[in-house]
Amino acid sequence: MQQVDNELPDKKPCIQCGTLIALDGNFCNQCGAKQFVEDHISAKKTWNYLTQTGLFYGISITACALAKYASIFETFSWGLFFDLILAINAIGFFAISWKENQKILQWKSFSWSKLAAYSSIAMAASVLVHYSVGWLNLVIYSKDDNYYEQLKGSIAGGLLVVSLTAVMPAIFEELGFRGYLLQTLLKITDKEQAVFISAFLFAILHFSFVSLFWLIPFALFAGFVRIKENTLWYGVFFHFCFNLTACIFELL
């Protein structure tokens, strides 16, 4: 029987699941299996990946730190500016490996039941986090902040809050952290390590000690969903539903 080789010249099959991966891939982006020792990427490429991810994270954490701690930037206009910087940063780095990364923007195995399940988990978790964080703020800081008090009763203000705290983070934080960052880490480490590293970096970026107890599990769950489903979109909807539920609590 004649064997037909349909593999692309710049690809190789994973030794465990058979998914086509880059010739220099050390781990499978689908199942996370380590490839043969002789197929490991060079130290130079590893360093380039680390340098690139370091630059991405450096820009992200600098923008967040300035927006949070520099009093001169505590205005609505500056807040929009830094949100724009973070969005451009995520898009730009994701586009660097567009040919490889575009596959996780596909949604070939869309399932309404999965979408409903992930959305329900997000909303339930957001309710739990809302009351937990409120209680911790009262215990630790003797106050319960409501950052959107001035926007209550305003439809335009409510839509703005939803756009800035639910829509944009769901798209651009997922694109940056579960998209670019996780994809890059999968090239130099195994699946579990990549998810854990990206989750901790994501949690630190928010500069909130009180919120670490939920930020880390949130990012871990989103990371493993991204690996399991091999698409970014379930994570985007999970993130959106979580943040939207929080917005509703704050506004209503």
Give the bridge partners for 12, in sequence order.
21
Q: What is the pLDDT of residue 136?
A: 64
Q: Tens of pLDDT along 205-224?
A: 999 888 899 999 999 999 99
Q: What is the pLDDT of residue 1?
A: 44
Tell me, yes or no, whether 143 and 241 share the same domain.
yes
Tell me, yes or no, whether 27 and 131 share the same domain.
no
Task: Name the H helices within 39-190.
Answer: 43-69, 76-96, 98-101, 112-136, 155-162, 168-173, 182-185
Domain count, the chain: 2
Tell me, yes or no, whether 118 and 226 share the same domain.
yes
Q: Which domain holds residue 10?
A: 1-40
Q: Is the entire prediction scored with pTM above 0.85?
A: no
Token digits of residue 114: 């999965």
For residue 98, the one-letter residue type is W
Q: Tens of pLDDT along 47-56?
A: 999 999 999 9
Q: Tens of pLDDT along 71-122?
A: 898 888 888 899 999 999 999 999 999 988 999 999 988 999 999 999 999 9
Q: What is the pLDDT of residue 234?
A: 97
